[in-house]
């Protein structure tokens, strides 16, 4: 039943991708940062359990098998569907929200907010396929705006979805070949009509269902990110099989793992009996599938390909040279960290505090403390500042030991915690701003500071610290309806790494763009600004930054940095750094 990725799907797609329509489930949006149906089910269980048992469970705690087991046992005792039952999704919406569609809509707005969307390469490829007219038709059970955002990012244009608010025009649009055609079978959370309850999912909207059956008799279908648990959707696929010309270019159901849902297995078996080329195609991820398909597209527009290939990775295998006194000595941009903080404060609060609220507290209190969330809230800062920020929600503060190893996936919150602290320590008392991004912490030259004399070593290396990009305005979108002037400033990306039993801080000179969403239109400026930074100039810029963040001390001495004024303590993290960067080989003694 299972076909490898080199199935006939690749041959059909390479010859004429326009012959294949797409059917997307929540898995196709997961890499964009949005939850799947399974994630939403567990979130509803968590919220229901918190309300009924008057206990707080942090969202990340639901990754624990012990916590899930406890919650599931509670739900079983309350008569909810068994774990992984096909009706789980609809029954939880029914039991928790009743028939209140407005509460459903508000809940989905929070869960599927566009602010959470960060397009992955798979999303960008689909956007490019639609924008470049390589794909024509997409159906989905999703409520989110990932596909619309992907098309907008790839083409600068818009994509309107047919959904429950305008069913009559969907069939006419498909019949009239008004491509690209995008249909949300279960509705759009931005509108009033949604299909989540059992009574909703028992049948599909007649017009939209007929539209999909019609498409199935004209196109082949690629299914991605969808499990097949919704009986009404599976009925549509089976109705296509009953038509006179089912899936003329094949049916390819992609999935992670070798065992599809029984309903999918039955569909493929029946499709083969109807002389349809049908396969269950096992894939690694949606992103890897889409990347491979994009490579097969002939005559790709250069602009679309550039937007997809934001970076090109290559696999290399270079053996390490033996220790000797021969060969070139190459300077790297990594500094050895000789000591890290081993303690912080742990916050005991009267209720659970989520990430959004924690970041809001930091902003409201002018970042007077540094915080992260693991199994609890961890903070650095003075006790008066922490108590002022958390107010009546604070029950107490305890000392918390920090692990030495932050490189494991389970310790990623601690890695960003340390990166933020060391960036704050480097910037303290200097004309520098700090910003946190998923790729690390950033130190940014404060070009509006009254006294920038402390940045002289950097300015000597780069001449200008920042300004406005002449003639460039930020792009206009629904989120940003007004064009702004685009500014820039010299910046330094700071990340921590642990390799070979040692801890390193990696410092990478960069350029910061204001507003951040305008970076995509500033590529020409960035290329020109950073284009000549090789060897000697890069070395001078790196030296300039190191003098700014570590001071003008002896190059071979150590630098001790603290995040806040005063001596190191549980609330004031301290870092000891070597002033000398690592080199490509060790000299023999």
Among 155-164, 226-235, 476-485, the range scoring the smallest mean pLDDT is 476-485
Burial class (CB within 10 angstroms; exposed 0-12, middle 13-18, buried 19+) of 102: exposed
Percent pLDDT > 90 in the chain is: 40
237 and 329 housed in the same domain: no
Does residue 381 belong to any structural domain of this protein? yes
Asked which of 111, 134, 166 is the last residue of a domain, the reply is: 111
As given in the structure block, the two tokens for residue 475 are 């792009």
Does residue 221 belong to any structural domain of this protein? yes
pLDDT digits (tens, 9 = 90+) for 342-353: 999 999 988 878
Residues 6+ apart with CB under 8 A from 25: 36, 37, 140, 141, 142, 223, 224, 225, 226, 227
15 and 159 housed in the same domain: yes
pLDDT bracket for residue 105 (50, 70, 90) = confident
pLDDT digits (tens, 9 = 90+) for 19-61: 999 999 888 888 787 777 777 888 888 888 988 888 888 887 7
Rounded to whole angstroms, how far apart are CA atoms 184 and 556? 63
pLDDT digits (tens, 9 = 90+) for 301-340: 989 998 887 655 455 565 655 655 555 667 788 889 999 9
Q: What is the mean pLDDT of the chain?
A: 83
Which carries the bigger pLDDT value, residue 404 or residue 258? 404
444 and 553 housed in the same domain: yes
- What CATH number should be reported for the domain holding residue 260? 3.40.50.1220
Does residue 490 belong to any structural domain of this protein? yes
Helix ranges (DSSP H) in 78-197:
88-97, 101-111, 121-131, 146-155, 167-175
Does residue 411 belong to any structural domain of this protein? no
Percent pLDDT > 70 in the chain is: 85
Burial class (CB within 10 angstroms; exposed 0-12, middle 13-18, buried 19+) of 144: buried
pLDDT (0 to 100) of residue 190? 42
Asked which of 255, 284, 308 is the last residue of a domain, the reply is: 308
Q: Is 518 helix (H, G, I), strand (E, B) or coil?
A: helix
519 and 587 housed in the same domain: yes
pLDDT (0 to 100) of residue 48? 87
Among 34-43, 307-316, 370-379, 455-464, the range scoring the smallest mean pLDDT is 307-316
Is there a contact between 337 and 41 (Cβ–Cβ < 8 Å)? Answer: no
104 and 144 housed in the same domain: no
Rounded to whole angstroms, how far apart are CA atoms 29 and 259? 21
Beta strands in 238-357 (DSSP E): 251-255, 278-282, 334-339, 343-349
Cα angle 196, 197, 200 (rounded to 5 degrees) comes to: 85
pLDDT bracket for residue 290 (50, 70, 90) = very high
pLDDT (0 to 100) of residue 167? 53
- Per the structure, the count of domains in the chain is 4
225 and 245 housed in the same domain: yes
Among 246-250, 513-517, 546-550, the range scoring the smallest mean pLDDT is 513-517
Asked which of 56, 78, 111 is the last residue of a domain, the reply is: 111
Among 7-11, 259-263, 335-339, 534-538, the range scoring the smallest mean pLDDT is 7-11
- CA 296 remoteness from chain centre: 26
85 and 102 housed in the same domain: yes
Residues 6+ apart with CB under 8 A from 63: none
7 and 103 housed in the same domain: no
Does residue 316 belong to any structural domain of this protein? no
For β-strands 181-184 and 574-578, DSSP reports them as unpaired
Cross-strand pairs, 488: 467, 513
The long-range contacts involving 310-316, CB below 8 angstroms and separated by at least 24 positions, are none
pLDDT bracket for residue 200 (50, 70, 90) = very low
Helix ranges (DSSP H) in 16-120:
27-30, 37-53, 65-77, 88-97, 101-111
User: Omega into 436 within 30° of 0, i.e. cis?
Assistant: no
Compute the half-sphere exposure of residue 440: CA atoms within 13 Å on the CB side of its CA: 18
328 and 353 housed in the same domain: no
Is there a contact between 164 and 191 (Cβ–Cβ < 8 Å)? Answer: yes
225 and 195 housed in the same domain: yes
Q: What is the CA radius of gyration of the chain?
A: 28
Provide the residue range defining the domain that includes 358.
344-401
pLDDT (0 to 100) of residue 313? 46
Does residue 406 belong to any structural domain of this protein? no
> Residue 464: is its pLDDT beyond 50?
yes
pLDDT (0 to 100) of residue 575? 94
Of 21, 20, 38, 18, nearest to 29 by C-alpha is 38
Phi, psi of 551 (to 5 degrees): 90, 175
Does residue 82 belong to any structural domain of this protein? yes
pLDDT bracket for residue 1 (50, 70, 90) = very low
75 and 165 housed in the same domain: no
pLDDT (0 to 100) of residue 163? 65
Alpha carbon distances (Å) from 257 to 24, 26, 41, 227, 518:
17, 16, 21, 11, 39
As given in the structure block, the two tokens for residue 2 are 């299972």
Rounded to whole angstroms, how far apart are CA atoms 498 and 411? 12
Please, what is the end-to-end C-alpha distance for the chain in angstroms?
Answer: 63
Which carries the bigger pLDDT value, residue 116 or residue 555? 116
Among 281-290, 436-445, 579-588, the range scoring the smallest mean pLDDT is 579-588
pLDDT bracket for residue 404 (50, 70, 90) = confident
Q: Is 282 helix (H, G, I), strand (E, B) or coil?
A: strand
Residues 6+ apart with CB under 8 A from 410: none
Rounded to whole angstroms, how far apart are CA atoms 280 and 274? 16
Does residue 556 belong to any structural domain of this protein? yes
Rounded to whole angstroms, how far apart are CA atoms 277 and 248? 8
> Residue 197: is its pLDDT beyond 50?
no
99 and 176 housed in the same domain: no
Mean pLDDT for 479-487 is 79
pLDDT (0 to 100) of residue 201? 40
């Amino acid at each position: 039943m299972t076909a490898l990725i080199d199935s006939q799907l690749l041959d059909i797609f390479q010859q004429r991708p326009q012959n294949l329509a797409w059917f997307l489930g929540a898995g196709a949006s997961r890499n964009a940062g949005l939850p799947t149906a399974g994630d939403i089910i567990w979130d509803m269980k968590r919220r229901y359990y918190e309300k009924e048992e008057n206990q707080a469970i942090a969202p990340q705690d639901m990754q624990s098998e012990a916590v899930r087991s406890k919650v599931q046992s509670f739900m079983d005792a309350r008569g909810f569907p068994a774990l992984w039952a096909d009706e789980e999704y609809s029954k939880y919406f029914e039991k928790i929200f009743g028939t209140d569609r407005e509460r459903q809509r508000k809940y989905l707005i929070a869960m599927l907010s566009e602010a959470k969307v960060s397009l992955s390469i798979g999303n960008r490829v689909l956007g490019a396929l639609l924008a470049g007219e390589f794909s024509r038709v997409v159906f989905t059970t999703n409520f989110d705006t990932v596909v619309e955002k992907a098309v907008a990012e790839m083409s600068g244009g818009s994509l309107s979805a047919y959904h429950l608010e305008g069913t009559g025009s969907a069939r006419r649009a498909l019949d009239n070949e008004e491509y690209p055609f995008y249909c949300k079978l279960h509705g759009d959370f931005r509108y009033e009509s949604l299909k989540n309850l059992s009574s909703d999912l028992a049948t599909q909207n007649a017009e939209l269902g007929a539209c999909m059956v019609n498409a199935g008799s004209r196109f082949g279908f690629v299914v991605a990110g969808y499990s097949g648990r919704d009986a009404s959707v599976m009925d549509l696929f089976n109705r296509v099989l009953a038509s006179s010309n089912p899936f003329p270019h094949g049916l390819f159901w992609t999935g992670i793992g070798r065992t599809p849902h029984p309903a999918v297995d039955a569909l493929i078996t029946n499709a083969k009996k109807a002389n349809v080329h049908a396969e269950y195609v096992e894939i690694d991820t949606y992103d890897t599938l889409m990347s491979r398909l994009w490579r097969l597209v002939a005559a790709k527009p250069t602009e679309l390909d550039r937007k997809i290939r934001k970076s090109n990775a290559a696999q290399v295998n270079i053996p390490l040279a033996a220790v000797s006194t021969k060969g070139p000595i190459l300077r790297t941009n990594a500094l050895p960290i000789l000591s890290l903080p081993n303690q912080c404060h742990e916050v005991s609060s009267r209720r659970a505090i989520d990430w959004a609220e924690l970041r809001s507290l930091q902003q409201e209190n002018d970042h007077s403390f540094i915080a992260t969330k693991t199994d609890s809230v961890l903070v650095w800062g003075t006790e008066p500042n922490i108590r002022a920020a958390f107010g009546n929600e604070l029950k107490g503060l305890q000392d918390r030991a920090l692990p030495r190893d932050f490189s494991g996936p389970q310790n990623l919150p601690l890695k960003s915690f340390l990166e933020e602290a060391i960036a704050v320590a480097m910037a303290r008392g200097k004309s520098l701003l700090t910003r946190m991004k998923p790729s690390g912490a950033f130190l940014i030259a404060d070009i509006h500071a009254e006294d920038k004399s402390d940045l002289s070593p950097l300015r000597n290396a780069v001449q200008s610290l920042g300004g406005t990009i002449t003639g460039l305005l930020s792009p206009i979108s629904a989120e940003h309806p007004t064009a702004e002037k685009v500014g820039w400033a010299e910046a330094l990306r700071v990340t921590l790494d642990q390799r070979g039993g040692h801890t390193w801080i990696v410092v990478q000179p960069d350029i910061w763009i204001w507003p951040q969403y305008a970076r995509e239109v500033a590529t020409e400026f960035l290329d020109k600004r950073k284009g000549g930074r090789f060897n000697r100039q890069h070395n001078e810029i790196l030296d300039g930054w190191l003098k700014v963040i570590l001071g003008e001390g002896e190059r071979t001495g150590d630098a001790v940095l603290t995040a806040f004024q005063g001596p190191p303590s549980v609330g004031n993290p301290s870092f000891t750094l070597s002033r000398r960067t690592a080199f490509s080989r060790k000299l023999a003694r």
